[in-house]
């Protein structure tokens, strides 16, 4: 895989990390949203680990 694809995955990963942080910063975080974001983040992390 080329470096631009890896860069895109890293950007997506960082974006999801930011979304998780924003959700957890809310007075009443939505656990379902956080769990969904964490699953997406894990899939990206696994894909990045293959490189």
pTM: 0.84
Is pLDDT at 1 greater than 90 in this prediction?
Answer: no
Query: How many domains, the chain?
Result: 1
Q: Is 29 left (phi over 0), alpha (psi -120 to 50) or beta?
A: beta
Question: Whole domain around residue 28: which residue ranges?
Answer: 3-49
Q: What is the pLDDT of residues 3-26, one digit of tens each?
A: 899 999 999 999 999 999 999 999
Residue range 24-29: average pLDDT? 97
């Amino acid at each position: 895989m080329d470096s631009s694809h890896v860069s895109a995955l890293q950007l997506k990963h960082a974006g999801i990390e930011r979304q998780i942080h924003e959700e957890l910063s809310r007075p009443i975080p939505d656990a379902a949203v956080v769990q969904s974001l964490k699953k997406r983040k894990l899939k990206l992390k696994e894909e990045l680990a293959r490189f």
